[in-house]
Amino acid sequence: MKLTGAETIVKCLEEQGVEVMFGFPGGVIIDLFDELEKSSITNVLVRHEQAAVHAADAYGRVKGEVGVALVTSGPGATNTVTGIASAYMDSIPMVVLTGQVPTALIGNDAFQEVDIIGITRPCTKHNYLVKDVNDLADTIREAFHIARTGRPGPVLVDLPKDVVMSKAKFVEPKPIRMQTYRPTYEPHPGQIAKACKEILKAEKPVIYAGGGVIASNSNEELTELATKLGIPVTMTLMGLGGFPGTHALSMGMLGMHGTYFANMAVSKCDLLIAIGARFDDRVTGKLEEFAPYAKIIHIDIDPTSISKNVKVDIPIVADCKYALTAMNRWFDVQDDFNGKAHEEKLGPWLDDINDWKRRHPLGYVEEGDIIKPQFVVQKLHELTKGEAIISTEVGQNQMWAAQFYHFNKPRHFLTSGGLGVMGYGFPAAIGAQMAAPDKIVIDVAGDGSIQMNIQELATARQYKCPVKVAILNNSYLGMVRQWQELFYDKRYAGTNLEVSPDFVALAQAYGAVGLRASKVSEVVPVIKEALATDNTVFMDFVIAREEGVYPMVPAGKATTEMLLA
Partner 1 sequence: MKHTISVLLQNKPGVLSRVTGLFSGRGFNIESLSVAETLDSSVSCLTLVTRGPDPIIEQITKQLHKLIDVIKVVDISESDYVEREMVLLRVKAEANTRAEVLRIIDIFRGKVVDVSPKSYAVEITGPQSKIKAVIDILKPIGIQEIVRTGTIAMARAKKF
Enzyme catalytic residues: 49, 111-112, 161, 479
- Quote the CA–CA distance of 285 and 310 in Å, as a whole number: 12
Nearer to partner 1, 134 or 307 (CB): 307
Question: Binding residues for partner 1, per CB under 8 A?
Answer: 117-118, 121-122, 125-126, 129, 146, 178-181, 302-304, 307-308, 311
In angstroms, what is the minimal distance from the CB of 130 to partner 1? Answer: 12
Which helix H or strand E contains 471, and what residues bound it?
strand 468-473
- Quote the CA–CA distance of 57 and 409 in Å, as a whole number: 18
Residue 169's alpha-carbon distances to 6, 7, 8, 24, 172, in angstroms, are 13, 11, 9, 28, 9
Which helix H or strand E contains 145, and what residues bound it?
helix 136-148
In angstroms, what is the minimal distance from the CB of 531 to partner 1? Answer: 44
Distance of CA 201 to the CA centre of its chain: 34
- Quote the CA–CA distance of 235 and 246 in Å, as a whole number: 13
In angstroms, what is the minimal distance from the CB of 122 to partner 1? Answer: 5
Nearer to partner 1, 57 or 158 (CB): 158
In angstroms, what is the minimal distance from the CB of 157 to partner 1? Answer: 13
Nearer to partner 1, 158 or 221 (CB): 158
Q: Determine how many CB atoms are found less than 10 A away from the CB of residue 194.
A: 15
- Quote the CA–CA distance of 335 and 326 in Å, as a whole number: 16
The residue length of the chain stands at: 565
Nearer to partner 1, 150 or 417 (CB): 150
- The 3-class SS string of 279-313 reads CCHHHHECHHHCCCCCEEEEEECCHHHCCCCCCCC
Helix (H, G, I), strand (E, B) or coil at 69: strand
Nearer to partner 1, 118 or 339 (CB): 118
Which helix H or strand E contains 211, and what residues bound it?
helix 211-215
User: Is 453:460 a contact under the CB 8 Å cutoff?
Assistant: no
Helices 189-201 and 320-332: angle between axes, nearest 10 degrees = 60
Nearer to partner 1, 67 or 153 (CB): 153
In angstroms, what is the minimal distance from the CB of 484 to partner 1? Answer: 29
Q: Of the candidates 14, 22, 93, 86, which has an alpha carbon nearest to the alpha carbon of residue 433? A: 22
Nearer to partner 1, 179 or 438 (CB): 179
In angstroms, what is the minimal distance from the CB of 303 to partner 1? Answer: 5
In angstroms, what is the minimal distance from the CB of 149 to partner 1? Answer: 11
